[in-house]
Amino acid sequence: MTVAICPGTFDPVTNGHLDVIERAASIFDTVIVSILVNSEKRTLFTTDERLEMLRMACGHLPNVSVDHFEGLLVDYVRARGAHVVVRGLRAVSDFEYELTMALMNRKLDPTVETMYIMASQEYSFLSSSIVKEVARLGGDIRCMVPAALADRIIARCKGEG
Ligand code: PNS
What DSSP designation does 27 have?
Answer: T
- Contact between 82 and 114 under an 8 Å Cβ cutoff? The reply is no
The answer to whether the pTM exceeds 0.95 is yes
- Which helix (H) or strand (E) segment holds residue 7: the answer is strand 3-8
Question: Is 41 considered catalytic here?
Answer: yes
Which residue among 18, 39, 73, 108 is best mutated to probe the pocket of ligand 1, counting the most ligand atoms within 8 A of its Cβ? Answer: 73
Question: Is 128 considered catalytic here?
Answer: yes
| DSSP per-residue codes, 61-84 | -TTEEEEEE-S-HHHHHHHTT--E
- The predicted model gives 155-161 an average pLDDT of 91
At 1, is the pLDDT very low, low, confident or very high (cuts 50, 70, 90)? confident
Q: Considering 39, 41, 42, 107, which one is annotated as catalytic?
A: 41
Q: How far apart are CA 46 and CA 144, in angstroms?
A: 20
Fold held by 3-122: Rossmann fold (3.40.50)
Round to the nearest angstrom and report the end-to-end CA distance of the chain.
41
Q: What is the pLDDT of residue 80?
A: 96
